[in-house]
């Protein structure tokens, strides 16, 4: 992940719908859809609730799942990479 000073921000036009079994992220500008499993949906929620701070999101994920913070950071980094590649998020100072 980027340094602590960077925030994760949803790209313009990304709309999220949370379901019991995950989430759906839809991009209005290009019609792309990203289906998130329950874990990825929890990570997306943690990002939003932490105001895009990746470290706070990782701590929240670790606490929620009872896993080491290192693992939460690693899992979050992987998801953030996929979301960035799909043009759903961007890094913002």
CATH number at residue 36: 1.10.10
Question: How many domains does one find in the chain?
Answer: 1
Q: CA-CA distance, 27 to 61, in Å (whole number)?
A: 25
Look at residue 1 in the predicted model and tell me its pLDDT.
Answer: 55
Q: What is the pLDDT of residue 31?
A: 84
> pTM of the prediction?
0.87
| Residue pLDDT, tens place only, 2-56 | 555 799 999 999 999 999 999 999 988 888 889 999 999 999 999 999 999 999 9
Q: What share of the chain is helix, strand, coil (3-state, %, to 5)?
A: 45, 25, 30
Q: Is residue 2 part of a domain?
A: no
- Kindly state whether residue 5 falls inside one of the protein's structural domains: no
In a domain, 37, yes or no: yes
End-to-end Cα separation, the chain, in angstroms: 13
Residues 67 and 93: their CA atoms lie apart, in Å, by: 28
Instruction: Look up the domain containing 62 and give its range.
Output: 10-88
């Amino acid at each position: 992940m980027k340094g602590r000073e960077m925030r994760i921000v949803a790209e313009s036009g990304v709309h999220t719908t949370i379901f019991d079994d995950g989430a759906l992220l839809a991009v209005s500008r290009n019609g792309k859809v990203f289906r998130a499993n329950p874990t990825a949906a929890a990570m997306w929620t943690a990002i939003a609730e932490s105001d895009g701070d990746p470290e706070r999101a990782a701590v929240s994920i670790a606490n929620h799942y009872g896993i080491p913070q290192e693992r939460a950071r690693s899992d979050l980094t992987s998801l953030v990479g996929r979301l960035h590649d799909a043009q759903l998020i961007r890094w913002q100072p």
